[in-house]
Amino acid sequence: MNEQIPDSFEERGRRLFDASVENIDMRIRSRLNQARHAALEAAERPRARFLRLPIWTSAAGVTAAGILGIAIWLGSPLIHTTSTIAENQTSNLEDLEIVASTDDGAGDAMEMLQDDIDFYDWAAEKSAATESGSVG
């Protein structure tokens, strides 16, 4: 390794600097502390917004919107009176399948399930217990 071992001159410089750091007054220390917290808070803000919308929300939202759109469209009386309905139905159902099976979305959902598997076990147990309680 090429790292040089510091001689006494360099060592002395380092010790003097360390001592001067120790001598920083309380006002400066306090301001540095405040600045650090402000920096961390500022960095946290966009993350906090992101946390409120978990990763899988976008995939789930797109899927839900697709299902709702298809349901409304299929339920419309117009659908039975136009000649292109069958084609459109097929095409929209295909779209729905594509949306629902998007690799990214599916990956996110599976990742979420793997990450929080304890939580989902617990939630399933609680729900099962509640159901059996209400039946019995």
Partner 1 sequence: MPRFATLSDAWMAWDGPAPAHEDAVVDQTRELDKFLAEVERRAFRIAQVSLRDADDALDVVQDAMLKLARNYGSKPCAEWRPLFYRILENGIRDLQRRRAVRKRIMVWSPGPKEDPDDEAQDPLDSVAAGGPDAPELLMQAEAMRHLESALRALPARQREAFMLRNFEGMDVAGTAAAMGCSEGSVKTHYSRAVHTLREQLGEVW
- Catalog residues that contact partner 1 under the rule CB under 8 A: 2-3, 6, 9-10, 12-14, 16-17, 19-21, 23-25, 27-29, 31-33, 35-36, 38-40, 42-44, 47, 51, 54-55, 112, 115-116, 118-119, 122-123, 126-127, 129-131
Least distance in Å: CB of 69 to partner 1? 22
Least distance in Å: CB of 57 to partner 1? 10
Least distance in Å: CB of 105 to partner 1? 16
b/e per residue, 68-107, with b = 16+ CB within 10 A? eebeeeeeeeeeeeeeeeeeeeeeeeeeeeebeeeeebee
Contact (CB, 8 A) for 113 and 120? yes
Least distance in Å: CB of 83 to partner 1? 42
Residue with smaller CB distance to partner 1, 45 or 80: 45
Residue with smaller CB distance to partner 1, 17 or 76: 17
Residue recorded with tokens 């410089």? 13
Instruction: Quote the CA–CA distance of 128 and 126 in Å, as a whole number.
Output: 5
